[in-house]
Amino acid sequence: MIKELIIKMFTSVLMIGILHQCIGHVYIQNTYHINQYKVLRAQAIRTDIGVTRLDCAAECTRDLTCWAVNYNPKDGVCEHVSYGEFPVPESAKFVDAGWYSMAVTAPRDCEDWFNRGIRKSGSYVIQPNLNLPPFHIYCNMADNGWSVIQRRIDGTVSFYDKIWDEYKNGFGDLNGEFWLGNEKIHELVTLNDYKIRFDLHHPNGTWYYSIHENFRISNETENYKAYIGSFLEGTAGAQALSMRNREFSTNDRDNDSNGKVHCAQSLNGGGWWYSRCGATRLNGKYNSEGVLTEQPRSGISWSTDMDKFLNKGEKPSLLQTMISIKRHKKNNS
Ligand SMILES: [Ca+2]
């Protein structure tokens, strides 16, 4: 609501010429809405001097509380304005010679950050849908920027006992182990076509991976049902197809395809798109030995195909996993 008002306000006098001239090919169009007046000078939450217009706007996108900037090219003065000050009252809005104000929106995903020149993996603010608030996500900047929706590293965060609402809203630490949250995943994959990548660290020391096209999940009303397209490439096989058309289940919600068993609960498998129940559960109970066990039930499992890599007849429990998504170039040039 607030965001819509500010966008409307700024776009009413959008100056495309300046946008192209100043932003050039490095930044993404539609990110900056430039206006020739200045807002709320007295209430700037931060002021930088001697910066470029580009850096001024870029710095704003890194801060969740910054929704607009005032910029004066003469001395490179950059004022950050907080969303808390909007909608801007007419009395506070005035034309000031030499100043420009820009409403700034965050990138829609990690690839947009990569295209802005960011190369360091870490937590960044994105805003896939301009009508919804921006949020933080972990970006893996390898291979042009993947938006990470799940990460397991060492068992610090417990996944198997989390309930529906926790999987819905996300949990964990973005710089460590986490589940981004089904609402955010749904928001991310709804407006563009995404491919999905699974990175799996087997206890034999090898990383395996698998990429499928056309990944999306429906909304909560449809239990975040998963849609998975064709296998594109990878060393971990097409096991993700087991998730195709499956609804999400958790400890406290049984939406799987097995009428007799509550897969998430009985396998200590955590929230997942179970079939009947299948071998795949990347949110299962962590086993630091790297072994899938029955008593007690624990393990992070992908596919029976991966069993052959272990000795001693033991079944492997993955030691690290990462699930990430990126826009599919075929459909989004
Ligand atoms: Ca069931």
Q: Model confidence at 288, in pLDDT bands (50, 70, 90)?
A: very high
Both tokens of residue 144? 């042009």
Are both 95 and 123 inside the same structural domain?
A: no
**CA 262 to ligand 1 center in whole angstroms:** 4
Same domain, 203 and 138: yes
Residue 332 falls inside a structural domain: no
Lookup: tokens for 87 = 């909608």
**Which of 103, 123, 295, 328 has the alpha carbon at shortest distance from 216?**
328
Taking Cα atoms as reference points, which of 170, 151, 202, 173 lies closest to residue 321? 151
> Residue 161: its pLDDT value, please?
96
Residues 90 and 206 in one domain: no
For 42, counting Cβ atoms within 10 Å of its Cβ (0-12 exposed, 13-18 middle, 19+ buried), the class is exposed
Taking the centre of ligand 1 as the mean of its atom positions, its distance from the CA of residue 216, in whole angstroms, is 23
Query: Each residue of 246-286: pLDDT tens digit?
Result: 999 999 999 999 999 999 999 999 999 999 998 899 999 99
Does the bond joining 73 to the residue before it have cis omega, within 30 degrees of 0?
A: no
Q: pLDDT value at position 113?
A: 85
Q: What is the pLDDT of residue 134?
A: 81
Closest CA to 246 of 282, 267, 277: 277
Q: 261: CA distance to ligand 1 center in Å? A: 4
123 shares its domain with 258: yes
What pLDDT sits at residue 311? 62
> Mean pLDDT lowest for which of 73-82, 83-92, 139-148, 306-315?
83-92
Of 71, 104, 137, which one is at a domain's C-terminal end? 104
CATH number at residue 93: 3.50.4.10
Q: Is residue 316 part of a domain?
A: yes
257 C-alpha to ligand 1 centroid (Å): 6
Contacts of 312 (CB under 8 A, 6+ apart): none
- Residue 62 has a CB neighbour count (10 Å cut-off) of 12
Give the mean model confidence (pLDDT) for residues 16-44.
43
Angstrom distances, CA of residue 42 to CA of 46, 95, 97 = 11, 14, 17
Domain boundaries, position 225: 110-327
How many whole angstroms from 285 Cα to the centroid of ligand 1?
A: 19
For ligand 1, the distance from its centroid to the CA atom of residue 291, given in whole angstroms, is: 25
Residue 333 lies in a domain: no
Q: pLDDT band at residue 133, thresholds of 50, 70 and 90? A: confident
Q: Select the more confidently predicted residue: 130 or 286.
A: 286
Cα 82 to averaged position of ligand 1 atoms, centre (Å): 47
Name the band, by pLDDT with cuts 50, 70 and 90, for residue 309.
Answer: low
Residues 181-223: tens digit of each pLDDT: 999 999 999 989 999 999 999 998 999 999 999 999 999 999 9
The three-class DSSP label of residue 161 is: coil
The answer to whether residue 57 is domain-embedded is yes
Cα 259 to averaged position of ligand 1 atoms, centre (Å):
5
CA-CA distance, 122 to 206, in Å (whole number)?
23
Give 256 Cα–ligand 1 centroid separation in angstroms.
Answer: 5
Taking a 5 Å cut-off on Cβ, the residues next to ion ligand 1 are: 254, 256, 258, 262
Predicted confidence band of residue 160 (pLDDT cuts 50, 70, 90):
very high
Q: Give the model's pLDDT for residue 28.
A: 30
Question: What does the block give as tokens for 133?
Answer: 């608030």
Domain assignment of residue 7, yes or no: yes
Q: Count of domains in the chain?
A: 2
Mean pLDDT check: name the lowest of 32-46, 115-129, 258-272: 32-46
Percent of the chain with pLDDT over 90: 56
